[in-house]
Structure 1
Amino acid sequence: MTDNVVEDNSRRRFLVAATSVVGAVGAGFVAVPFLTSFSPSAKAQAAGAPIEVDISKIKEGQRLTVEWRGKPIWIVKRSEQNLQELSSLNNKLRDPHSEVISQQPDYAKNAGRSIKPEYLVLIGICTHLGCSPSYVEADNPAGNDIDPDWKGGFFCPCHGSKFDLAGRVYQSVPAPTNLVVPPYTYLSDTRLLIGATA
């Protein structure tokens, strides 16, 4: 009778252990899909990931448009003349010194609102109601209709907001703030990384 009790206890321990192991494995199979559902999908990760942009082929006065996080990103190569003319517009602008901190990273809080003066990087969405402004160069005849002293910049056809070649908003237009400068850094003289900083 003692042998049977010992044998029953051994069998009971074995069955409890085996059931516990099978239960733990089953719980793991149930938990893995549940926990992975909290992770963003590969598509969502790619949509918010930084993007690399080759700027080696942009000529002075040209604008390159790329997409980051579903938004148009503009990269404009400005001439020396464009840069010199920026300060002449200060009295026509609502925020000439980029005082609204949320509109640009600290490294772009300067006259050109950029890391390297010749390259302007902006999110191409008007700060009024989210339209996409047109790029109008200084020598474009349409510039005279925008402003008799047009030096080049961006014009929003939806409600008439206008911005200079640093993305700074003019006074007396519907847009309340300058165009936004996204986070970016230079990987080399000809490659930008948009969506990340150094």
Structure 2
Amino acid sequence: MQNAAAGPKGIGPEGASPGSEVDQGRRRFLTLATSGVGAVGAGFVVWPFLASLKPSERAKALGAPVKADIAGLEDGQMLTLAWRGKPVWIIKRTPAMIESLTKVKAEVADPESSVQQQPEYAKNETRSIKPGIMVMVGSCTHLGCSPTFRPDYPAPEIAPNWQGGFYCPCHGSKFDLAGRVYKGVPAPINLLVPPYRFDGDTNIVIGEDQVAA
């Protein structure tokens, strides 16, 4: 005989029926399942985009030529841009900066650029196509730090006869305003001059060689 004190059939201790618990569980399952399908669908949408960024394509993009507009570059200023994941410096040298290269010739390790750190068209005293425009990779040839641009002189804390140039704060390597390395510093060779060419008077293309006229 059924106990009269018992509540209505199917009512739990907190007033929730087993049927409603099943319904809630089903809804949670359907929500999760729908979310899963959405995530999979999103994966199919994103995949073509990810596939378009294959390593070979990224490598090509990193190695692609870079064009720089130097029309607004003033005397003594330096422009920095990225090429192949490295900083490239473009300096508009003043007549005094060009003259300084002769003054420190005896103090640099490779004044004639005998080590092949530049294209043939930049193998000269100024290490450039045009004496007034210097282009070089801004990575120290010791361990790859980025030297600071120090055109100011005198600066006896850097060198007794400092005429302006680049100083690497990591280990003290010094370079003149043509990127030639000073004697007696950790860096073994001059800064790298990348392939480059002029496209008109105010544009430089980094990554393409200058064609002889």
Indicate the TM-score class for this superposition, using the shorter chain for normalisation. Answer: 0.7 to 0.9
**Displacement of 1:40:** 5.6
Aligned to 1:195: 207
TM-score, structure 2 as length reference: 0.71
Give structure 1 regions of 4+ aligned residues with deviation exceeding 3 angstroms. Answer: 39-42
**2:148 partner letter:** S
State the TM-score, normalizing by the size of structure 1. Answer: 0.76
Which has more helix, going by share of residues?
1
Residue matched to 1:61: 76
Counterpart-to-counterpart distance in 2, 1:148 and 1:75? 26
Q: Residue by residue, what CA displacement relative to the aligned partner does 1:94-136 show, whole Å, maximum 9, x if unpaired?
A: 00110002x0000000010000100110000000111110000
SS at the partner of 1:87? helix
Structure 1 residue 178 and structure 2 residue 190: aligned? yes
Distance 1:171 1:41 in 2: 40
Report how far residue 41 of structure 1 moved.
4.0
Encode CA deviations 1:33-77: one digit per residue, 9 max, x unaligned: xxx99x864332211100100011111111100000000000011
Cα deviation digits, residues 141-179 of structure 1 (max 9, x gap): 7x3310132111000000000000000000010100000
Q: How far apart in 1 are the matches of 2:109 and 2:141?
A: 13
Q: Distance in 2 between matches of 1:44 and 1:88?
A: 41
Identity %: 54
Write the mapping of 1:139-178 to structure 2, written as runs, cut at 5 A: 139=153, 143-178=155-190
After superposing the two structures, state which structure 1 stretch, 41-50 or 104-113, moved more: 41-50
Amino acid at match of 1:79: T
Q: Which residue pairs with 1:104 in the alignment?
A: 118
Please provide the CA RMSD for this pair.
1.7
What residue ranges of structure 1 are gaps of 5+ in the alignment? Answer: 1-35
State the one-letter code of the partner of 1:158.
C
Larger-Rg structure: 2
AA aligned opposite 1:157: P
Task: Report the count of equivalent residues.
Answer: 159
**Structure 2 counterpart of 1:74, which letter?**
W
SS of match in other structure, 1:192: strand
1:45 aligns with 2:57: no
Matched, 1:132 2:166: no
